[in-house]
Structure 1
Amino acid sequence: MDSKEERRILVAVDGGDESLYALSWCLKNVVSDNYSDTLILLYAKAPRAVYPALDGTGYLFSSDVIATAERYSNDLAESIVEKCRRVFKDSQNVKVEVKVENGDPRDVICEMSEKLKPDVLVVGSHGYGFVKRALLGSVSNHCAQNAKCPVLIVKKPKH
């Protein structure tokens, strides 16, 4: 019996159409029956805000407000992971791991690519023009420049 070469494919997801398209494209074009592939879905959850005891207006933030914000953040992460699971529900030839980390997506993705040492990092591209990219920063461009593994940037067609 031949043992298949193992590959680890890290896919950054954010629940947007571009990252779901990148995940779908990866399943069709990167994942292969010739390998024992593990798909690692990575979602970077916005860091929890640190609230001072009093906000600028002198109002106190209650623990209920903070707990509600945390619950919302966790529910959002679960929702995004569930959207991704629907994309690969028919793919039985791939193992799937899910990682949810806190922080700026640019930093989280690069740090996890260094920690997990995947064979490739797959990220979607929003395709913003120069001005938006300059103002918002491009996650895919940052990863292409800083990740410690090969990076595959998947751009969703405009049609």
Structure 2
Amino acid sequence: MADVAAKERKILVAVDESEESSYALSWCIENIIPGNSNDTLILLYSVPPRTVYTSMDGSGEKDHPQGYLFSSDIVATMERYSNDVAQCIMAKAKRACKDLDGVKVETIVEHGDARDVICQVAEKLHVDMLVVGSHGYGVIKRAFLGSVSNHCAQNVKCPVLIVKKPKTNGSSN
């Protein structure tokens, strides 16, 4: 049994700004990591895509009806904001991991749809486990918004642990 505990594992945890994500990371730290200091915990944040066109790219309403036309200054400001959000989320996630003795903690920030980014990174890094939080959407909300955790469970080749935050009394969810 000692050999099993000594095996190095790569555990990918998808993080974002939600309480569900924070809970999933905490749950992973408390329940998956203990007793195995050979683990590598990889924290992944996906910066959501934004349909933005600058006035310089020749895009117009006729060519790209879903895009918004912004000046390059506004686009740069939006990019800085996205990077600031990513840094804040990663700093918070790393703080949650500060007491993990001997566990390597790595961070990755990628741009794109979270469903695709998480699956691609899990595949590329050959992780042993993927941990994602669940927002607990009902059937209708999930049908319209899509479920990142469901998509990952269907498409990732490694085991996927979907951690659902317990409902608290008085919760509107």
- Fold agreement, TM-score > 0.5: yes
The Cα of 1:88 is off from its aligned counterpart by 1.6
| Structure 1 residues 35 and 82: alpha-carbon distance in aligned structure 2, compared to 1, 3 A threshold | closer
The question of 1:80 aligning with 2:81 is answered no
- Taking the TM superposition and a 5 Å limit, the aligned residue runs for 1:54-133 are 56=61, 61-133=70-142
The Cα of 1:86 is off from its aligned counterpart by 2.0
Q: Which residue of 2 aligns with 1:4?
A: 6
Report % sequence identity.
65
Q: Select which of 40, 43, 46 maps to 1:41.
A: 43
Q: What is the letter of the counterpart of residue 118 of structure 2?
A: I
Q: Which residue of 1 aligns with 2:30?
A: 28
**Any unmatched runs of 5+ in structure 1?**
none
Q: Which residue of 2 aligns with 1:147?
A: 156
Q: What is the letter of the counterpart of residue 83 of structure 1?
A: K
Of 91-100 and 105-114, deviating more is: 91-100
TM-score, length basis structure 1: 0.90
SS at match of 2:17: coil
Alpha-carbon distance in 1 for matches of 2:69, 2:26? 45
Paired residue total: 157
Alpha-carbon distance in 2 for matches of 1:85, 1:144? 25
Alpha-carbon distance in 1 for matches of 2:51, 2:142? 25
Partners of 1:22 and 1:154 within 8 A in 2:
yes
Partners of 1:5 and 1:35 within 8 A in 2:
no
SS at match of 1:90: coil
Partners of 2:37 and 2:102 within 8 A in 1:
no
Report the aligned-residue RMSD: 2.1
Alpha-carbon distance in 1 for matches of 2:50, 2:101? 35
The question of 1:15 aligning with 2:17 is answered yes
**Any unmatched runs of 5+ in structure 2?**
62-67, 169-173
Alpha-carbon distance in 2 for matches of 1:81, 1:36? 22
Cα displacement string for residues 71-108 of structure 1 (whole angstroms, at most 9, x for unaligned residues): 00100100110111221222223110000001000000
Q: What is the letter of the counterpart of residue 41 of structure 1?
A: L
